[in-house]
Amino acid sequence: MKRKPFPWRKFTPSQIDLMERIAVAGGTLPYDKLEYCDVVAFEELRKLKLADMRPKGRSKLEIVLTAKGSQLRRDAYRTEQIIVRVTEPQIELLRYLDDGHPHEDSVGRTVHELPGMMLDVCRRMSLRGWVEWHGGWDGLRWARLTPAGREVLAAVDAMDDAVTQMAVAQRRGPLQ
C-alpha cells in the first residue's frame, strides 16, 4: 500500500534563507540573480502565497515577500499551514541516508551508493536544505542528512510509530 505524503508544517532551510535575504535586501531581490536552489524555494513560497514576482522597469523582474510572508517572518516562521508534503521516495531517501550519527560524525552515502532513482530525490532534498553534499578524502561526493533533515525524519518516524501502535491496539480489540 502506498503511503500518503507526510504533511510538513515547518519552512525548509532554503525557504527561510531566501525569505531572510529578501528582507535584508530591502524587500526585493532581482530574479535574474537567483541561483537554481533559490528559484525552487521561491516557487514553493509562491505557491503558498508568501512571495511573489513583480516587474522592475521595462525588462527586469524582482521577487518580494507578500504581506502574509512578511507576517510569518515576524512570527518567527511559526505556522499550522502545510509547507511541504514529504513523499514516500523522499522518506525512503531520508531513511537510507540516516546512519545514526546526528552531528558531524555523520558520513552519509557516496554518490555511487545511491540507487539511480534516489539521485534526483537527493538533489531535490539538497535544494530544500535537508541533505548536504560534501567531499570525502577519497575524492568522492557524499550525501548526508542535515539537522533539518534529521528533524523531518524524526517526525515521520514518530508518526509511523503512532500509526503502528494504533493498528496494534485495534487488532487487540476492546479491553476485557
CA distance 25 to 31: 13
- Paired residues of 60 in beta bridges: 56
DSSP 96-154: HH--S--STT---EETTTS-HHHHHHHHHHHHHTSEEEEE-TTS-EEEEE-HHHHHHHH
Mean pLDDT of 24-40: 94
Whether residue 131 contacts residue 93, with contact meaning beta carbons closer than 8 Å, is answered with: yes
| Vertex 111 angle, CA 107 and 112, to 5° | 110
* Same domain membership, residue 60 and residue 91: no
Domain boundary residue, one of 24, 48, 74: 74
131 pLDDT higher than 90: yes
Q: What distances in angstroms separate CA 94 from CA 19, 113, 138, one per listed residue?
A: 25, 14, 24
164 pLDDT higher than 80: no
pLDDT at 106: 65
Mean pLDDT of 30-36: 94
> The domain containing residue 44 runs over which residues?
8-74
* Same domain membership, residue 168 and residue 92: yes
Which candidate, 151, 38, 146, 167, places its Cα nearest to that of 86?
A: 151
H/E element holding 29?
A: strand 28-30
CA distance 169 to 174: 8
The domain tally of the chain equals: 2
pLDDT at 173: 67
pLDDT at 36: 95
Q: Give 103's pLDDT tier (boundaries 50, 70, 90).
A: low
* Same domain membership, residue 156 and residue 127: yes
Domain-embedded: residue 80: no
Domain-embedded: residue 155: yes
Tell me the percentage of the chain whose pLDDT exceeds 90.
Answer: 68
Question: Whole-model pTM?
Answer: 0.84
* Same domain membership, residue 165 and residue 119: yes
pLDDT-wise least confident of 16-20, 76-80, 105-109: 105-109
Q: Give 60's pLDDT tier (boundaries 50, 70, 90).
A: very high
* Same domain membership, residue 150 and residue 98: yes
Residue 32: CATH number of its domain? 1.10.10.10
Q: Per residue in 78-91, pLDDT tens?
A: 999 999 999 999 99
